[in-house]
Amino acid sequence: MSSSGNKLSGGILIGHKSEKVLFLPPGTLHAVWTKKGAFFLGGEISLVEGLEVMARFIRSQLMVVETSKEMLKQDIEKYAEAIGETLRLRRDVSTILAIQSWLNILPNLNETLERLKPEDGRRELCKWIGPLVSEWQKWAGSNPHIKCCPCKPTKALDSFGIHFKRSHIPAL
C-alpha cells in the first residue's frame, strides 16, 4: 500500500471505532491505518451472497484437481460451512440460491468423481465432500416445503426432499 497508495483512486475512507464491526463484501480491496497503536482482529465469514462465487471457484478447481488439491479442500470446507449456515436460516430465497450454487457444481463434481481413480484422489475428494453432502442430506430429509426446484422451475413437486435426494445428491 505504501508503494501504490498514491496511484489508487476512487476509494472511500471510513472512520471507524473499536466498538463497531465493519463487514466488507468478499473480494474488497482494503487497507487499515491507525492513529495510534491498536490490536486488530479480522475474520472471514461465508455468507449466502458469496455462494455463487464460491461455486465458481470450486468448479474451476475440480477441472484441475490433480494440481489444486489443498486449495480445493479449503474451498469445499468454506462452501460447506456457508451452505450449512444458509440452510439453517430456513429462508426460501436463500435456500434457492444455495441450491442453484450446488447445481452449478454438481456436473463437474460428478464428472471428476467418475474420472478419478481411488488412488488418484477420488478417496480424498469423497472425504472432503462428505460433510457437504451430509448437510444436503440432513436438509432434504427435514421435509423442506419448497415446491419447485431450480432444475425444473416450472414443475411443482410433491416432495421436494425426495426429488432432491434422488436427483442432486451424489453417491460417494
- Minimum distance from CB of 38 to Zn ion (Å)? 49
Segment contacting Zn ion (CB under 5 A): 10-18, 27-35, 59-67, 163-171? 163-171
Nearer to Zn ion, 48 or 149 (CB): 149
Is the Cβ–Cβ distance between 46 and 27 less than 8 Å?
no
Residue 58, amino acid: I
| Cα Rg of the chain, angstroms | 20
- Minimum distance from CB of 163 to Zn ion (Å)? 6
Q: How many Cβ atoms sit within 10 Å of the Cβ of residue 59?
A: 17
Segment contacting Zn ion (CB under 5 A): 40-48, 67-75, 79-87, 145-153? 145-153
Burial class (CB in 10 A: 0-12, 13-18, 19+), 40: exposed
Rule CB under 5 A: is residue 96 a binding residue for Zn ion? no
CA-based nearest residue to 116, from 64, 168, 165: 64
Rule CB under 5 A: is residue 140 a binding residue for Zn ion? no
Rule CB under 5 A: is residue 149 a binding residue for Zn ion? yes
Rule CB under 5 A: is residue 157 a binding residue for Zn ion? no
Can you give the binding site for Zn ion, defined by CB under 5 A?
Answer: 149, 151, 167
